[in-house]
Amino acid sequence: MLDLDGKPVIAHTIEVAKKLASSVHVATDNEEIFNCAVKHGANAIMTSDKHQSGTDRLAEAVGKLALPEQDIVINLQGDEPLISPKLLTQAADLLERYPNAGIATLKQRILNGDELMNPNVVKIAMGEDSSVVYFSRAPIPFNRDEMRGSVSGMPSGEYYRHIGLYVYRVGTLLNISEMKEHHLEATEKLEQLRALANGVRIVAEDALEIPHHGIDTEEDLFRLRSKLKVESE
């Protein structure tokens, strides 16, 4: 709800979503966010305030909408106001290409050592055939020979950050909501680990374009405000 260029952050995110879909729903347990969503042209769904993760909240919203299990739902987090609709379409198309996968997402190469070590930047480790092996706030994979002490610069190897959007099959989403919180999810504070730990296949690929960084901290918001101010001058 903080201001970004004269509007709340989530209002900008809604505008992005409406470029892709004619029906956009905001799931929230907050009356202020609910009213803001309606004001800015989205459908709003009031959900429980007991949810431990956004995935659980999304599952409740999908249940209220009574969507078919094979439908695909794009989940865009409210702190991604500058994400490109092209990336949302890419992730949805990725899930369509892998019928045995339940979730699709995107990634981007990390080329900066500070970003690699930043716990607010979620890292993603990949296996074969676009399958995700693990998500972590720690630098993964861990280069044993180069990262034993303090890290300066980038270690050798390939490192990727997770881009904060998910595409689900409705049936997968409803199943995840029935699973107990997994200890990996609780430890890392990353909700996608519940699905991964319970055998749900997650697929990811490189984003077709470089996405803007989401707003994870107040510093990110200040940086984005400055960027938009410069672009308007």
Convert the pLDDT of each residue in 105-137 to its tens digit: 999 999 988 889 899 899 999 999 999 999 999
Question: In the chain, where are the structural domains located?
Answer: 70-232
Q: Name the range with the highest mean pLDDT among 116-120, 175-179, 202-206.
A: 202-206
**CB pairs under 8 A, 24+ apart, for 113-116?**
113/151, 113/152, 113/153, 113/154, 113/155, 115/161, 116/151, 116/154, 116/155, 116/159
Residue 213 pLDDT level (bands cut at 50, 70, 90) = low
Separation of alpha carbons 161 and 186, rounded Å: 20
Cβ neighbours of residue 133 closer than 8 Å, sequence gap 6 or more: 125, 126, 127
Separation of alpha carbons 36 and 42, rounded Å: 9
Mean pLDDT of the region 149-163: 78
Global pTM value:
0.82
Which amino acid is residue 12, in one-letter code? Answer: H
According to DSSP, the β-strands at 25-28 and 103-109 are unpaired
- Whether residue 42 is predicted with pLDDT greater than 80 in this model: the reply is yes
Topology (CATH level 3) of domain 70-232 = Spore Coat Polysaccharide Biosynthesis Protein SpsA; Chain A (3.90.550)
